[in-house]
């Protein structure tokens, strides 16, 4: 563990923490001293490896503290139960990372059946809505907190490709974040969008559309420092922003990392 832990004493919920970006963020939060609530479904419906318990175990093996929680973010009762459990155990929630998501990229609009569309929207929009709804209640009472919604360049720029379903869901998440940031500003709760760029995750590999730029993609661990920085923000310091991984250390991030113009 580092000598100067930036998140010591904080409690952070990370959804979709069983693999990929969520797992990497959860582990980095643990390294930085946070109590990490690693949330995910009990098992991947597509059979992908990784569980919340494995993420929590790795955090503990590194000397950190973690709690594994099974939670389907589209189920209101499960989300409420997760928040109630965290509050009962720790009495506060400092950070929420809405990372759980589903990807449909490369498919033509007319080839996406309504059932697939609805499932994607449930996970990518209803999930963050429910998590924000229950966690924001806690943060408003605390008068502090940071909500980080994992967005995408595909939700901000239609020329990047990807397709209607995923792009539409992320655009909706972005607007949810912008407007929620304004609503929660008076309560000192930050809400920001973190766009990780193209990442080498197990889920991404399942779709051949992602293979074309695989070698140039980031490792999931590249998101760790970005997510730590955002976890430390309040409405007074940074809120209502769309922040891309490529700009970390250039246009945003710790002052000592920002590149000064020559």
Question: Could you give the CA distance from residue 194 to residue 230 in angstroms, rounded to a whole number?
Answer: 8
Domains and CATH numbers, the chain: 11-247 (3.40.50.720)
Q: Which of 32, 191, 13 is nearest to 92 (CA)?
A: 13
pLDDT of 169 > 90? The answer is: yes
Residue 76, pLDDT score: 98
**Pick from 194, 182, 176, 197: which is nearest to 231 by CA?**
194
CA–CA separation, 32 and 7 (whole Å): 5
CA 25 to chain centre: 8
Is the full-model pTM beyond 0.75?
A: yes
Looking at 29, 129, 134, 166, which residue is catalytic?
166
Query: What are the E-state strand segments in 94-207?
Result: 95-98, 145-150, 189-195
Token pair for residue 53? 């318990």
What is the phi/psi pair of residue 160, to 5°? -75, -10
State yes or no: is 29 an active-site residue.
Answer: no
Identify whether the C-beta of residue 93 lies closer than 8 Å to the C-beta of residue 141. Answer: no
Structure-block tokens of residue 38: 């690693």
Task: Supply the pLDDT for residue 163.
Answer: 84
For 61-94, write each residue's pLDDT tens digit.
999 999 999 999 999 999 999 999 999 999 999 9
pLDDT for residue 257: 75
Q: What is the pLDDT of residues 99-146, one digit of tens each?
A: 999 888 778 899 999 999 999 999 999 999 999 999 999 999 999 999
Q: How many Å apart are CA 122 and CA 126, to the nearest integer? A: 5
The predicted-structure confidence for 201-214, as pLDDT tens digits, reads as follows 554 434 554 544 54
């Amino acid at each position: 563990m580092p000598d100067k832990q930036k998140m010591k004493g904080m409690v952070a919920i990370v959804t979709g923490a069983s693999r990929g970006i969520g797992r990497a963020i959860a582990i980095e939060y643990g390294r930085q001293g946070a109590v990490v609530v690693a949330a995910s479904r009990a098992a991947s419906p597509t059979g992908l490896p990784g569980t919340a318990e494995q993420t929590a175990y790795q955090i503990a093996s590194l000397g950190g503290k973690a709690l594994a929680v099974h939670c389907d973010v589209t189920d209101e009762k499960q989300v409420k139960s997760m928040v109630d459990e965290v509050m009962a155990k720790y009495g506060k929630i400092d950070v929420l990372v809405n990372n759980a998501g589903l990807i449909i990229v490369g498919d033509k609009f007319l080839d996406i059946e309504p059932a697939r569309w609805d499932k994607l929207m449930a996970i990518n929009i209803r999930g963050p809505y429910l998590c924000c709804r229950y966690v924001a209640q806690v943060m408003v009472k605390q008068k502090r907190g940071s909500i980080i919604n994992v967005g995408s360049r595909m939700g901000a720029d239609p020329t990047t490709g990807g397709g209607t379903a995923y792009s539409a869901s992320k655009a909706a998440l972005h607007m949810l974040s912008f407007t929620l940031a304004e609503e929660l500003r008076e309560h000192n709760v930050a809400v920001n969008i973190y766009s990780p760029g193209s990442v080498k995750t197990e889920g991404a590999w399942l779709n051949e559309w992602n293979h074309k730029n695989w070698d140039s993609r980031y490792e999931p661990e590249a998101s760790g420092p970005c997510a730590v920085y955002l976890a430390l923000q309040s409405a007074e310091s940074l809120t209502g922003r769309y922040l891309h991984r490529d700009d970390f250390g250039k246009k945003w991030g710790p002052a000592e990392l920002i590149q000064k113009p020559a």
